[in-house]
């Protein structure tokens, strides 16, 4: 049995390409946020739920136009830069428009939350998710060269390992090293590649990822409270100005944007909490048929011509033990 070690194939972007993609992302944020401000401008009399649906449709249209421009003009932005500039835009609206109407306690809470969010976002973008490179002490695969080439002909292996033994503590199979097509690297404990962070989520930064999700939810929730305080105070003073001024429209549109983010991110976080409780990764759940350890083959009965393959989770040790393992206890 020959041990196979792999090189890190990730290549950083040239600086001029990086600047170009960030510029495109910045322009996309400005256009999308200005487009969102048209919703409270022209539909101010509509219920909040209707405005929220319209805001979601506007975002979908903007994303669709962005993909069309990428195909037609050959220019593309960066998803992580898009997220970063959206955070800065919301913060700028808060400082320029909302802050005078917000209580001191909420001002401290929001500014603290968004500051920690930006720090955490920059940190996870540059973090090592558990990349296994050439010369690493981590043992990737133990198999014949022929098996390796068959499963990795175009560097897209279908399984973390090529043996069919039951996982044991410290075994190769138990280390759950998976391949990321985007990063073109092998990641220990690979969950998924997060385009919003421009990085994989793996063994080394999974806890960081969950903390960052909490930071996003708390920041957006506090912003919704701040914008609600601003809207209530503005309606008491001059409702017409709130509905017609750009600052008032931006306050409402960014609140709708934050509510929309809250809704899908709450579902997203619930999913990841479920995965942690049952010790399974997103990639493993979606692609379990690729990984032998998740396959439970039920042999066919007499008269049947095929075997049935069912899902099983060999890593589930009980919710409490799974959570402790996730936290590193």
Predicted pLDDT at 166: 37
Predicted pLDDT at 292: 87
Which are the contacts of 202, defined by CB distance < 8 A and separation ≥ 6? 129, 130, 131, 187, 188, 189, 190, 191
Q: What is the pLDDT of residues 164-204, one digit of tens each?
A: 333 443 444 346 899 898 888 899 999 999 999 989 999 99
Predicted pLDDT at 172: 41
Where do the H-state alpha helices sit in 3-47? 15-36, 38-42
Predicted pLDDT at 4: 44
Predicted pLDDT at 240: 60
Predicted pLDDT at 236: 55
The answer to whether 206 and 190 are in contact (CB under 8 A) is no
First vs last C-alpha separation in the chain? 33
Predicted pLDDT at 13: 60
User: In the chain, which stretches have pLDDT less than 70?
Assistant: 1-13, 16, 69-70, 73-75, 134-175, 235-244, 300-307
Cα(5)–Cα(186) distance, integer angstroms: 10
Predicted pLDDT at 229: 87
């Amino acid at each position: 049995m020959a041990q196979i070690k792999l090189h890190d194939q990730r290549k950083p972007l040239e600086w001029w390409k990086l600047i170009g993609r960030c510029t495109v992302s910045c322009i996309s944020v400005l256009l999308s946020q200005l487009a969102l401000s048209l919703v409270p401008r022209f539909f101010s009399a509509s219920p909040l739920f209707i405005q929220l649906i319209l805001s979601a449709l506007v975002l979908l249209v903007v994303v669709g136009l962005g993909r069309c421009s990428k195909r037609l003009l050959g220019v593309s932005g960066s998803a992580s830069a898009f997220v970063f500039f959206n955070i800065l835009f919301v913060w700028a609206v808060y400082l320029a428009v909302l802050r005078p109407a917000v209580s001191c306690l909420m001002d401290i809470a929001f500014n603290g939350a968004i500051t920690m969010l930006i720090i955490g976002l920059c940190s996870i973008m540059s973090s090592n998710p558990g990349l296994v490179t050439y010369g690493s002490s981590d043992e990737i695969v133990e198999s014949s060269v022929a098996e390796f080439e068959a499963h990795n002909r175009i560097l897209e292996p279908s399984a973390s390992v090529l043996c069919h033994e039951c996982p044991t503590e410290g075994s190769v199979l138990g280390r759950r090293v998976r391949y990321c097509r985007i990063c073109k690297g092998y990641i220990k404990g690979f969950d998924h590649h997060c385009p919003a962070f421009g990085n994989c989520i793996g063994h080394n930064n999974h806890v960081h990822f969950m903390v960052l999700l909490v930071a996003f939810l708390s920041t957006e929730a506090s912003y919704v409270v701040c914008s609600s305080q601003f809207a209530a105070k503005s309606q008491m003073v001059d409702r017409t100005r709130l509905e017609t001024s750009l600052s008032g429209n931006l306050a409402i549109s960014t609140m709708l944007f934050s509510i929309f983010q809250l809704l899908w991110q709450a579902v997203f976080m619930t999913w990841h909490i479920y995965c942690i409780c049952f010790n399974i990764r997103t990639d493993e759940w979606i692609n379990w048929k690729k990984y032998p350890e998740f396959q439970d083959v039920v042999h066919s009965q007499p008269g049947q011509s095929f075997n049935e393959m069912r899902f099983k989770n060999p890593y589930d040790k009980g919710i409490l033990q799974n959570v402790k393992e996730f936290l590193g206890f």
